[in-house]
Amino acid sequence: MRFAGAACAVLLGAAACSFQPSGGDVDAGGDVVDADVTGDGAEADATDEVDAAGIDAATIDAAATDAATIDAAATDAATIDAAATDAAATDAPVVDDVVHVADDSIGTGDLVVGSPITVQTSGGGFGFGTALPPGVTFGVEPQDPSGPELAVLRVRNLTISANVRVLGARPLVILAETVSLTGVIDAGARHDVPGAGGATMGPGVGTAGGHMGTYGDSGGGGGSHGGVGGAGGNATCASGCNPDQTVQGGGAGATYGAPSLATLRGGSGGGRSYFPSAQTQCTPGAPGAGGGAVQLAARTSIVIAASGGINVGGGGGAGGDQCNNPYNWLAGHGGGSGGAIYLQSPVVQNAGILAANGGGGGGGAGSGGDGMTGADGALGTNVATGGSGNGSYSAGGGDGAAGSGTGEAGSAAGGDGNGGGGGGGTGRIHVRYRTTYAAGTQSPGAVTTVY
């Protein structure tokens, strides 16, 4: 039999090996037959050779098994790690892109508004109207990708249980983890004062009323946004016109923007009625202004209670002035259009009111005095009523739009009379949610998307 040196090393480890053939014959192949094999004084016969080979095989098999076990363990560990990674990725909160802002991070502090405040989004009084705790910030940011600048509040958990009045040139954006609203965010216009982000003119401004002859004055048109405003009321020119002529009322403004509110901006103003440049003893009044724009974006939930809501209604147009120097009574001004409301959260639960109604048009002046100012678009589903006329030669203003309706046209005046202003159109409401949505009361109805 023959033993390779490497096999000796495997079988005997560090022990010395010696092979001494004695008393054996050598066959034709050169192998020793019936030789005594001695290794460090231990005898081994042919059976030992087989056993040694078996040991070698077992050792090799064991090594292979161990290697396979190690590889399997490593594979299992990798599988477990991969599964853990997948689980971690699945369990991690999803951070969604918030429209209109480039940075959708939120604050680290909580804010509770328990008493009425006024938020100013522009000007020297810029501020949120209350002391902000650490981790809550309020600043100016560009709109992404374009549009008017924004006033942005970053907070963790926001609770509002009081009335929050919002004014200024910039729309208000709130980024939070949760928003709980039992009070009202009011960014609606007040007659000729726009809500935050609204305009006295704007892209949907109504056109001005006309004047013809000595006394004929038509009303200004209502502003438009998502919905169309109403035209100003016509008038008839009798004095100074032969034959009588119709004085066309101002047209409603053009609608603008997209239902998705790709750009966040408020409503537009109504159209003016005619006012003579030489007039010195009259106050011309003003059209209604546009409602504001408000966006709430919460990573977890937005909850609006039955007592809560958001209002971005347009302003009511002023009534015509009874001017006497020179002698000419004036027509009513148009109402402003509603603004914009944008809500984004996985869960949006509204039991309150979201409203972007148009303002009422103003009434024309008459023998009884100035025309009445139209009502502002309010929190609810009712139309803002147009201002009434006042006596002979006057006509009433049109109602502002609510729900799916359009602004009402101002009433027409008879000979040498003064038409009413047109009502403002509705704004836009967009709700973006993932799992839960309760609509509550809306005017107009919201456009919804699921993300």
The predicted pLDDT at position 265 comes to: 98
The predicted pLDDT at position 96 comes to: 67
Express each pLDDT in 36-48 by its tens digit. Answer: 333 333 333 433 4
The predicted pLDDT at position 416 comes to: 93
pLDDT at 194 over 50: yes
The predicted pLDDT at position 95 comes to: 41
For residue 390, the one-letter residue type is N
Instruction: Write the CA distances from 443 to 25, 262, 355, 357, 439, integer angstroms.
Output: 114, 20, 5, 7, 11
Question: Is the preceding peptide bond at 134 cis, omega within 30 degrees of 0?
Answer: no
Torsion angles phi and psi, residue 369, rounded to 5:
130, -160
Annotate 188-211 with b (16+ C-beta within 10 A) or e (fewer). bbbbbbbbbbbbbbbbbbbbbbbb
The predicted pLDDT at position 282 comes to: 79
Length of the chain: 451
Share of the chain above pLDDT 90, in %: 74
The predicted pLDDT at position 135 comes to: 98
The predicted pLDDT at position 257 comes to: 97
For residue 85, give the H/E element and its range: helix 46-91
The predicted pLDDT at position 48 comes to: 42
Q: Which of 321, 227, 250, 337 shows the shortest CA–CA distance to 283?
A: 321
What's the chain's average pLDDT? 84
pLDDT at 199 over 90: yes
Share of the chain above pLDDT 70, in %: 78
In 369-429, alpha helices (H) = none
Q: CB within 8 A of 429, min separation 6: which ones?
A: 340, 341, 342, 354, 356, 442, 444, 445, 446, 447
Q: What tokens does 322 get?
A: 């009874």
Q: Are 340 and 293 in contact (CB under 8 A)?
A: yes
How much is the pTM?
Answer: 0.79
The predicted pLDDT at position 244 comes to: 94
Express each pLDDT in 344-372 by its tens digit. Answer: 999 999 999 999 999 999 999 999 999 99
The predicted pLDDT at position 326 comes to: 62
More confident residue, 318 or 22: 318
Express each pLDDT in 397-424 by its tens digit. Answer: 999 999 999 999 999 998 999 999 999 9
Express each pLDDT in 228-286 by its tens digit. Answer: 999 999 999 999 999 999 999 999 999 999 999 999 999 999 999 998 776 667 778 99
Query: What is the rounded (10 degree) CA torsion for 138, 160, 380, 425?
Result: 0
Q: CB within 8 A of 358, min separation 6: which ones?
A: 222, 223, 227, 229, 267, 313, 314, 335, 336, 337, 338, 377, 384, 400, 401, 402, 407, 423, 424, 425, 426, 427
The predicted pLDDT at position 70 comes to: 38
Q: What tokens does 19 get?
A: 């092979």
The predicted pLDDT at position 283 comes to: 78
Express each pLDDT in 128-161 by its tens digit. Answer: 999 999 999 999 999 999 999 999 999 999 999 9
The predicted pLDDT at position 71 comes to: 46
Q: CB within 8 A of 414, min separation 6: which ones?
A: 236, 393
The predicted pLDDT at position 17 comes to: 39
Q: Which of 107, 135, 95 shows the shortest CA–CA distance to 345?
A: 95
